Amino acid sequence: MVLPIYLAEIAPSEFRGRVVASMVVLITGGQVLAYVIGASFFHVTKGWRWMFGLGAVPAISQVLLSFSIPESPRYHLRKGRVVTAQKTIQRLNPSWSHEMVQKRIQLLRAEVQDHPGDRAAGGPGRQRLLSGWREKVRNWRPSSIQDGKLGLLWKDRANRRALLVACGLQFFQQATGFNTLMYYAAKIIDQTGLGQPAAFAVFIAVSNFISTIVALRLIDRVGRRTLLLRTLLGMIGGMALLSFAFLFIHVSSSPRSAASETGASPWAFVAVFAMGMFCVSYALGLGNVAWVVQSEVFNQELRAFGNAAATAVNWSANLIVSSTFLHLSHAATPAGAFGIYAIVAGLAWLFTWEFLPETKGLTLEEVRAVFEREVNMDG
């Protein structure tokens, strides 16, 4: 949750999409590495112990490297540390001149002044801060929720719209079924009758990783809205084709007999192609855009709370979809399950067309202004 907020705050507006999307590149790269490690220890006795143990290596590295990460300039300004904020901006942008740094400081200070409560919250010492919390606990009442950040999200029309867009995109990111292909790739490919399903699963993960790298160059050049509308068409087509292919695979014969007696059906290769088509389209669009949009649509005061809500929707939808896939596939057949995901992808396209404005090249303050007025959805 913290990372997309941090990246959005420190990145220049013209490169913000690319910087936030780099997070997804590292995630998908880690997925490829995990697939390779899993395949390497597949036949090793108690190999799962090594798989879990190796996961500690990047975790420890992350903890050690986190001490060298500078704090967000916005955070320093809310604490009244103008000089520190200037030094941080210069460190993050070493090629910037002194005038460019000062201009950036002025823009950020204007935003902080729009939310003086944030800045005031940083002034008191530890004892005063604790006293403030005790006072809040003593005076807590159910209606106080409406006076807090949740209330601000719901009462203000622009905040409601930002919450709808962020949570909606994160919901569709999971509800379109991408992680069912990632979690159960080997099982799905095995059902087609193809041999070496683990190898094909690695291929799917690699195609996803490469596509996220390509997305880095597209998201700020093409734009969030345009890129998402185009790639969702590929997701719809890929999932629909996968559903269609499984109609024939299911009717013809069982996967095992198809692979062992006459070789895999041609529809098996169509299914793998459809999986790749869906994953590539997802990685180019929804897999990146949802995180980028989430990091930039909320104002400073509600950015952390709004991102937390959208991230919670993401993981909740992920839990529901991934835990119900096998049951859904059994009840409705694989073709039916993938057909449902194709329909959900179609709903995601309609949602994007109706609610998502273009935010390419805008500062975080300008993005906020977009949500505060009636927007031409065509950007």
In the chain, the percentage of residues whose pLDDT exceeds 90 is: 32
Say if 111 falls within a structural domain. no
SS3 215: helix
- pLDDT score for 115: 54
* CATH number, position 237: 1.20.1250.20
Query: What total number of domains does the chain contain?
Result: 1
Selected residue with higher pLDDT from 157 and 356: 356
Average the pLDDT over 357-375 and give the result: 79
Is it the case that residue 285 has pLDDT exceeding 50? yes
User: Cα separation of 56 and 357, whole Å?
Assistant: 41
SS3 373: coil
* Nearest by Cα to 366 from 176, 110, 89: 110
**CA atoms within 13 A of residue 291's CA, in its CB half-sphere:** 31
Answer yes or no: are the C-beta atoms of 173 and 286 closer than 8 Å: yes
CA 46 to centroid of chain Cα atoms: 33
Selected residue with higher pLDDT from 250 and 344: 344
Answer yes or no: are the C-beta atoms of 13 and 364 closer than 8 Å: yes
Selected residue with higher pLDDT from 279 and 248: 279
* Nearest by Cα to 288 from 183, 345, 217, 342: 217
- pLDDT score for 316: 96
Of 20-34, 139-153, 209-223, least confident by mean pLDDT is 139-153
* Nearest by Cα to 118 from 291, 242, 298: 298
User: Cα separation of 127 and 24, whole Å?
Assistant: 40
Is it the case that residue 170 has pLDDT exceeding 90? yes
User: Cα separation of 305 and 71, whole Å?
Assistant: 19
Average the pLDDT over 332-336 and give the result: 91
Whole-model pTM?
0.77
- For residue 292, give the amino acid letter: V
C-alpha torsion 149→151→156→159, nearest 10: 50
Say if 206 falls within a structural domain. yes
User: Cα separation of 7 and 17, whole Å?
Assistant: 9
Is it the case that residue 15 has pLDDT exceeding 80? no
pLDDT band per the 50, 70, 90 thresholds, residue 250: low
Is it the case that residue 251 has pLDDT exceeding 70? no
CA 204 to centroid of chain Cα atoms: 19
Say if 7 falls within a structural domain. no
Answer yes or no: are the C-beta atoms of 3 and 24 closer than 8 Å: no
Average the pLDDT over 319-324 and give the result: 94
Say if 319 falls within a structural domain. yes
Structure tokens at 311: 């991230």
Selected residue with higher pLDDT from 170 and 299: 170
Say if 202 falls within a structural domain. yes
* Nearest by Cα to 326 from 179, 176, 184: 184
Say if 4 falls within a structural domain. no
B/e letters for 299-320, b = 16+ CB within 10 Å, e = fewer, are bbbbbebbbebbbebbeebbee
Q: Provide the sign of the torsion angle of the four alpha carbons 297, 302, 303, 306, taken in this order.
A: negative
Is it the case that residue 234 has pLDDT exceeding 60? yes
Say if 228 falls within a structural domain. yes
Selected residue with higher pLDDT from 329 and 9: 329
The helix, strand and coil proportions of the chain, stated in percent and rounded to the nearest 5, come to 80, 0, 20
Say if 58 falls within a structural domain. no
Parent domain of 229: 154-371
Average the pLDDT over 80-98 and give the result: 87
Is it the case that residue 141 has pLDDT exceeding 70? no
pLDDT band per the 50, 70, 90 thresholds, residue 311: very high
Of 38-42, 113-117, 329-333, least confident by mean pLDDT is 113-117
Average pLDDT across the chain, whole number: 81
